[in-house]
Amino acid sequence: MKIAVIDYEMGNLKSVTNALSFLGAKPIIVKKPSRLRGDKIIVPGVGAFGKASQNLRPFGSKIEESLESNIPLLGICLGLQIFLEESDESPTDKGLALMKGKVRKIETNLKLPLIGWNNLEIKKKNCPLFKGVEGGYVYFVHSYEAVPEEDVVAATTEYGRQICASVWKNNVYGTQFHPEKSGKLGLEILRNFLEL
């Protein structure tokens, strides 16, 4: 199984590709939109929304074509956030708008960024990403949260209040946490994505 991992200079590619290889998949790092093809597509991400928006924009039409062909798409961390329309982090830069909503700074009295292991609460039990998953601790690193304006929140986590931890809309999936850094539970979630 060939998994296209988009390299738009914002992702932790090594961790993601290592996890995919461990699960028996064949990750292919894609640096040019014209070469974006595979059984599934992953958009990893670490960094700022504005730069991610600018770097990922050339891939936009190819991503849409893939979605129209029912190819599953997974966004990780910043990769999830870029699926929304815009972000307070960089108001002049637009997301891919695969889901309605914005990205906002987490409103909490707790320290930001949220770094470390936090409990995952599954909201949509029928989400294929969480098949056989009851919840547990996964690894987060972020200061901004996705605030969708559609019923797409598949899981949440508690950080002073409930915030979005995962989204799901048709064949578009996103995790605010890093499954590739979340041990056995993270690998189980990635395996579910590979088995879609």
- The architecture of the domain spanning 2-194 is 3-Layer(aba) Sandwich (3.40)
The answer to whether 189 and 182 have CB atoms below 8 angstroms apart is yes
Active site residue 127: no
Catalytic residue among 145, 164, 178, 188: 178
Catalytic residue list contains 77: yes
What is the pLDDT tens value at each position of the chain, 196 positions in all?
Answer: 899 999 998 878 999 999 999 999 999 999 999 999 999 999 998 889 999 999 999 999 999 999 999 999 999 999 999 999 999 999 999 999 999 999 999 999 999 999 999 999 999 999 999 999 998 999 999 999 999 999 999 999 999 999 999 999 999 999 999 999 999 999 999 999 999 9
d(CA 26, CA 100): 32
Q: Residue 46: what pLDDT?
A: 87
Tokens describing residue 103: 């990205």
Residue 178 annotated in active site: yes
User: Of the residues 9, 77, 107, 158, which is catalytic?
Assistant: 77
* Catalytic option among 86, 145, 180, 188: 180
